[in-house]
Amino acid sequence: MEELPVSFDEASARSRRRLTVLALPAFRRRSLNPFQALLYDEAGRLDVQVEDWTFARALLRRTHIWHLHHPDTVVFPRSTLQSAVETCLMFCLLVIARGRDTRIVWTVHDLDSSDAQHPRLERLFWRYFLPRLDACIYLSEAGRRLAQERFPSLQEVPAFISPHGDFRPAYPNTVSRAEARAALELPEGVPVVLNFGLIRPYKGVPELIDTVGELDGGEAVLVIAGRVWDAGVEQEIRTRARELSGVRLHLRWISFDDTQLYFKACDLVVLPYLRILNSGTAMLALAFERPVLVPDRGTMAELGERFGTSWVRTYPDELDVGTLRSALSWACRSDRAPPDLTGLDWASLAHETREIYDAMLAMRRGTRKAHGTRGAPV
């Protein structure tokens, strides 16, 4: 097994240079998903200066590292012309970065843009982007395996594993279950199912409404909370929920302060992804100590192994009413210890990220030797 060429403690003892990093994203999406901001807040204490990646900064700034979490955002715009222009700009900037010896690392959160609005352009993007990587960071071993199955060329790219962090520092958690239910006008004696987060077609929300509709009246209340990405999906959700008294729609952006109300009020978080690799919402549910029901897709089985059957339950194929009813009974049990989030603090993850940056800079460009963090071979 190969160890990192320099451990963090050894590097700390030396006069380690300050690193400059452009991250996509870094801080600007803190109010939507605090993952990167929490990581880079701590990295700033380790002689790492991080700024948000923009086209202008990528062109004008010479930096040691580009840390790209969602590089395919260039193909996200609905306008095909805008997506094409931004993709071409990214291609040009990747050439410039390599000419400056800027190292490029991708943290693999997803394997596609989920909604696939421009599939041909997206295929072109991955074909050009992947050969220009100097390293990949995976959130789990299952994520590494699935990514390398999808993109076999990644087997030749140095790989590191550093898991998803603990969301507890980012969200207030001060209200009781009774206070949360009162604030949301939810009944006390009925189990509450929550679907939370940005609502996009691949998240299976209309199908979840249909499944809840098959429960007996008063068996559960479904709360859907989050902004809808697509107007067509919103109309579908509203149409399917119209005749169901047990469905409550909160189709808007949920503030950090209000997030606790939804998780503290619920008994079970259901995330019926039609496709998925990693789930930040599942990690958010665990931060609020709420059990999660997810499909056996992507890395969800490994999530269940990591946190145990008391906290994560997976199901095969499609969600049906029997599976949901069984999960409700399981979730309403009270005999479970808090989920173990040891080692997922952002200070530890920032140390690992600094190690990865140092390892990347120490490697000769073009090397195909794999390394790992946490003593784990990859």
> What's 15's domain CATH number?
3.40.50.2000
Shared domain for 239 and 266, answered yes or no, is: yes
Whether residue 317 sits in one domain with residue 177: yes
Answer whether residue 263 shows pLDDT above 90.
yes
The answer, yes or no, to whether residue 340 has pLDDT greater than 90, is yes
Residues forming beta bridges with residue 270, ordered by sequence position: 293
**pLDDT score recorded for residue 335:** 86
pLDDT at 117: 81
Q: What is the mean pLDDT of residues 278-284?
A: 98
Based on the fold, state whether residues 154 and 183 are members of the same structural domain. Answer: no
Question: Of the given ranges (12-21, 24-33, 173-182, 357-366), which has the lowest mean pLDDT?
Answer: 12-21
Predicted confidence at residue 46, as pLDDT, reads: 97
At 78 the pLDDT is 79
Please tell me whether residues 310 and 177 are part of one structural domain: yes
Instruction: Give yes or no for a cis peptide into 25 (omega within 30° of 0).
Output: yes
From 116, 369, 320, 367, select the one nearest 213 (Cα to Cα). 320
- Whether residue 56 is contained in a domain is answered as yes
Task: Specify whether 264 is located in the same domain as 180.
Answer: yes
367 domain-assigned:
no
One domain for residues 39 and 153:
yes
What is the number of residues in the chain? 378
Determine the Cα–Cα distance for residues 1 and 371; give it in Å rounded to an integer. 9
Q: What is the pLDDT of residue 357?
A: 97
Quick one: 248 and 138 in the same domain? no
CB 262 within 8 A of CB 190: no
Write the burial class of residue 268 (CB in 10 Å: 0-12 exposed, 13-18 middle, 19+ buried).
Answer: buried
For residue 192, pLDDT beyond 50: yes
How far apart CA 118 and CA 67 sit, in angstroms, is 24
Look at the chain and report how many structural domains it folds into: 2
User: How many CA atoms are closer than 13 Å to the CA of 96, on its beta-carbon side?
Assistant: 16
For the entire predicted model, the pTM comes to 0.91
Same-domain status, 109 and 220: no
* Residues 356 and 320 reside in one and the same domain: no
Instruction: Return the bridge partners of 49, or none.
Output: 20
Residues 102 and 145 occupy one common structural domain? yes
- The phi, psi pair for 277, rounded to 5°, reads -115, -65
| pLDDT confidence of residue 112 | 84
Residue with tokens 């929300």: 205
Position 155 in a domain: yes
Percent of the chain predicted with pLDDT > 90: 84
**254 belongs to a structural domain:** yes
Q: What is the DSSP letter of 51?
A: E
Is residue 39 included in any domain, yes or no? yes
Averaged confidence pLDDT in the chain: 92
Residue at 378 is within a domain = no
In a domain, 375, yes or no: no
Band (375; pLDDT cuts 50, 70, 90):
very low
Locate 207 and state its tokens.
């199908």
When pLDDT is averaged across residues 21-47 and rounded to a whole number, the result is 96
Structural domain span for residue 298:
168-331
Tell me, what's the pLDDT at 243? 87
Domain co-membership, 159 together with 305: no
Tell me, yes or no, whether 265 and 314 share the same domain.
yes
Question: Of all helices (H) and strands (E), which one includes residue 190?
Answer: none
Domain contains 63: yes
Instruction: Please calculate the CA angle 264-250-294 and round it to the nearest 5 degrees.
Output: 60
